[in-house]
């Protein structure tokens, strides 16, 4: 009887069933900004009725509201997922009393993990910033860049070079970050052997995928994973498909679907790695849905969809969570977005 009861407890309490002897898993957190079910479905039907998310092992749903607003923004949602606390819209890395909170990236870094961020927005945009910065306004881009320069993140890739070397305070953070190497192309990033590399992919916001943005997100992420793995340490990687959200705000299906398809290809690469590695937990979700988009027509044979939008802003719809790899069962169910942090913390703290 005692053995049977113990087995039930383990099955019902996965957060407390992690072995002291188990090897810490790598964590790859992927956020499709603004990616609701209709965005996923639009990408899927535009891709011969297939999405790489079908390879997921578990699926859940999260509630996205911020501390005092049913409609969250990326700053509050990013902080909820990175730090496990609700805060106000536009606030990054601070709780409702404006006290700084630790992020899952910072906790991993302090435990000896390698860390990296790859985004298709500027690297100082709200979602990536919520993993390393503490500011009252997401629009304090110069200050966010300054905090990034002191964050000791191993690899960061995204736009926004001007916030580092064309600042109102005349500082040149690239020159100040003398322990970092800065790449100017995917090829130069690939050749660098340093454990600290920045790759600022554009002066300001990167252009959209439908406008020809290069390098591709999947190539950047694949190269980053290879670099992280080469150090023979566990790693934490944040990947943001940032511009799915921008297409939603503009009610621009071409923009939104092209970003969704690139994000989907990146997911496929990540799943390939995690399947081979056997010790990488992958979590894929969104900070919120954008545009209130619905699929109102289309054609399966031609992989075409017709979208209709009800908003140019965020909505309060729950968004899905897809997971793969060790401990991925933790991420099934319906829960608050703050629990993303709680579940990831349980994986790394034993």
CB-based contacts of 107: which residues, under 8 Å, 6+ apart?
A: 345, 348, 349
pLDDT digits (tens, 9 = 90+) for 57-68: 999 999 999 999
- Is residue 2 a part of any domain in this protein? no
Tell whether the model's pLDDT for residue 296 goes beyond 90.
yes
pTM over 0.85: yes
- Is residue 250 a part of any domain in this protein? yes
Active site residues: 74
**H-type alpha helices, 13-56:** 37-45
Tell whether the model's pLDDT for residue 207 goes beyond 70.
yes
- Is residue 252 a part of any domain in this protein? yes
- Is residue 124 a part of any domain in this protein? yes
Distance (Å, whole) CA 33 – CA 248 = 10
- Is residue 18 a part of any domain in this protein? no
- What range defines the domain where residue 92 resides? 24-348
Tell whether the model's pLDDT for residue 176 goes beyond 80.
yes
Domains contained in the chain, number: 1
Distance (Å, whole) CA 102 – CA 83 = 6
- Is residue 243 a part of any domain in this protein? yes
Tell whether the model's pLDDT for residue 350 goes beyond 70.
no
Neighbours of 228 (CB within 10 A): 22
Min mean pLDDT across 15-29, 39-53, 127-141, 212-226 is at 15-29
pLDDT interval class at 118 (50, 70, 90): very high
CATH number at residue 205: 3.40.720.10
- Is residue 4 a part of any domain in this protein? no
Average pLDDT estimate for 301-322? 98
Tell whether the model's pLDDT for residue 13 goes beyond 70.
no
pLDDT digits (tens, 9 = 90+) for 15-62: 334 443 478 999 999 999 999 999 999 999 999 999 999 999 999 999
- Is residue 5 a part of any domain in this protein? no
């Amino acid at each position: 009887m005692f053995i049977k009861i113990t087995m039930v407890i383990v099955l019902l309490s996965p957060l407390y069933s992690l072995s002291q002897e188990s090897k810490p898993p790598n964590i790859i957190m992927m956020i499709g900004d603004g990616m609701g079910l209709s965005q996923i479905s639009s990408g899927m039907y535009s891709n011969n009725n297939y999405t790489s998310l079908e390879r997921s092992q578990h699926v859940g749903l999260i509630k996205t509201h911020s501390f005092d607003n049913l409609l969250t923004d990326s700053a509050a949602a990013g902080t909820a997922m990175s730090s496990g606390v609700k805060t106000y819209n536009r606030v990054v890395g601070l709780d409702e009393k404006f006290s700084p909170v630790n992020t899952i990236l910072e906790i991993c870094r302090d435990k000896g993990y390698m860390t990296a961020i790859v985004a298709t927005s500027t690297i100082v945009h709200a979602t990536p910033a919520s993993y390393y910065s503490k500011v009252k306004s997401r629009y304090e881009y110069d200050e966010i860049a300054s905090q990034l320069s002191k964050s000791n993140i191993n690899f960061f890739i995204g736009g926004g070079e001007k916030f580092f070397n064309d600042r109102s305070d005349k500082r040149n953070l690239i020159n100040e970050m003398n322990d970092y190497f800065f790449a100017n192309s995917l090829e130069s990033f690939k050749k660098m052997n340093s454990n600290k590399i920045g790759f600022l992919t554009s002066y300001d916001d990167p252009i959209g995928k439908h406008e020809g943005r290069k390098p591709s997100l999947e190539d950047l992420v694949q190269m980053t994973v290879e670099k992280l793995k080469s150090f023979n340490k566990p790693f934490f990687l944040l990947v943001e498909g940032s511009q799915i959200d921008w297409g939603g705000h503009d009610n621009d299906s071409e923009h939104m679907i092209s970003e969704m398809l690139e994000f989907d290809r990146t997911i496929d690469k990540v799943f390939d790695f995690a399947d081979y590695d056997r010790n990488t937990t992958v979590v894929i979700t969104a900070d919120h849905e954008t545009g209130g988009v619905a699929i109102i027509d289309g054609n399966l044979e031609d992989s075409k969809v017709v979208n209709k939008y009800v908003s140019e802003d965020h909505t309060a719809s729950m968004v899905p969570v897809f997971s793969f790899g060790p401990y991925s069962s933790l991420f099934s169910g319906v829960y608050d977005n703050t629990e993303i942090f709680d579940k990831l913390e349980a994986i790394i703290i034993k």
